[in-house]
Amino acid sequence: IYILAIESSCDDTAAAVLKNDQVLSNIVAQQAVHEQYGGVVPELASRAHQQNIVPVVDVALKKAGVKKEELSAIAFTQGPGLMGSLLVGGSFSKSMAMALKIPLIAVNHMHAHILAHFIEEGTPKPTFPFLALTISGGHTQIVQVNSFFDLKILGETTDDAVGEAFDKSAKTLGFPYPGGPLIDKYAQNGNPKAFPFTKPKVEGLNFSFSGLKTQILYFIQKNQAINPNFVEENKEDICASIQYTIIQILLDKLKLAVAETGIKQIAIGGGVSANSGIRNALLQAEKNWGWTAFIPKFEYTTDNAAMIGIVGYYNFLESHFSNSSVVSKARIEF
Ligand code: ATP
Ligand code: FE
């Protein structure tokens, strides 16, 4: 089975070709245009998708060595995401599937961030049921995964996503967008206990990050007023402290989820799972608490089409197809 997968939910135009559960090619065209605005500009994103999609798909097929006539189906991101961006990938996929007379498979982007763990890499995969912690630019969720298609959200953020907590804190520190990876980089040489921040009190398995964001903003403003070089002089300790607090918030909720469900397999996904601090914390949790942690390969953490392809593959096996009237959705449930 050859699946062409297309992802265009936000600001990356991505295409991948899978042979069954193996990735033959995985191409991502990033959009540099947003950096100067400090965030993704939806209008510019959809225009860039329109420019990128044909060459990106072309390269993905060439690199895979697969002709379009050999494709078994086309999988694309139906949502959630930016409407203008989703529509570009959606209409492209529909027309291509129609022209080739092959099935179309609509994929939920958050489902894909989770099933990315089932891309065949020769590494151990989680077994059902497991807990997925999906941490990305737009989401923060703990999901109980009972099978490929039976997923239940146990908790999620009530305001900002964890990626936003990273990026907005980074913006406060004057870093370019997206600043999450820079916080990670500076944190590696800093003292995580240098500046203690308070964790929000949120009931159950839900999260909140907007209070932390404000707390960090006031902390920086106050200290910059006293010493205009405060950030410059303490960059590493500030980043380490921010990252430490965010990781503690995530770990607290994971511990609670493990206690409530008795499930000790934890699979992280989404862009923030590239963070070295969260990766180390999970390795520690394996040692200290007997958890089994699953950490995806870097290229399958941030947005990519291979993860859309693996969901496409499992849908194909079940003959779960969409018809050409399927609509893109900015918000979507499992
Ligand atoms: P969603 O999947 O919710 O629609 P998205 O697709 O925009 O959102 P991803 O591409 O999965 O999000 O993740 C992007 C986020 O990951 C950004 O907020 C970015 O700062 C963050 N990120 C990437 N690498 C790191 C890192 N090493 N440390 C912290 N954050 C990181
Ligand atoms: Fe994503």
pLDDT tens string, the chain, 334 residues long: the values are 999 999 999 999 999 999 999 999 999 998 888 888 878 889 899 999 999 999 999 999 999 999 999 999 999 999 999 999 999 999 999 999 999 999 999 999 999 999 999 999 999 999 999 999 999 999 999 999 999 999 999 999 999 999 999 999 999 999 998 899 999 999 999 999 999 999 999 999 999 999 999 999 999 999 999 999 999 999 999 999 999 999 999 999 999 999 999 999 999 999 999 999 999 999 999 999 999 999 999 999 999 999 999 999 999 999 999 998 999 999 998 8
**What is the whole-number distance in angstroms between the Cα of residue 61 and the centre of ligand 1?**
26
Cβ of residue 269 lying under 6 Å from some atom of ligand 1: no
Residue 134 annotated in ligand binding: yes
Give CA–CA dist 35/13, Å, rounded: 16
Cα–Cα distances (Å) from 55 to 1, 121, 277, in that order, read 23, 27, 36
Q: Which atom of ligand 1 is nearest to the CA of 162?
A: 18
What's the pTM?
0.95
279: burial class by Cβ within 10 Å (0-12, 13-18, 19+)?
A: middle
Residue 204 annotated in ligand binding: no
Residue 49 annotated in ligand binding: no
Q: What proportions of the chain, in percent to the nearest 5, are helix, strand and coil?
A: 50, 20, 35
Q: To test ligand 1's pocket by mutation, which of 10, 160, 302 has the most ligand atoms within 8 angstroms of CB?
A: 302
170: burial class by Cβ within 10 Å (0-12, 13-18, 19+)?
A: buried
What's the confidence (pLDDT) of residue 132?
98
Residue 135 annotated in ligand binding: yes
What's the confidence (pLDDT) of residue 254?
98
Residue 108 annotated in ligand binding: no
Give CA–CA dist 251/248, Å, rounded: 5
**What is the whole-number distance in angstroms between the Cα of residue 122 and the centre of ligand 2?**
24
**What is the whole-number distance in angstroms between the Cα of residue 189 and the centre of ligand 2?**
28
ipTM: 0.98
Cβ of residue 180 lying under 6 Å from some atom of ligand 1: yes
What's the confidence (pLDDT) of residue 333?
87
Strands (E), the chain: 2-7, 12-19, 22-30, 73-79, 104-108, 130-135, 140-145, 151-156, 265-269, 292-294
Cβ of residue 303 lying under 6 Å from some atom of ligand 1: yes
Cβ of residue 157 lying under 6 Å from some atom of ligand 1: no
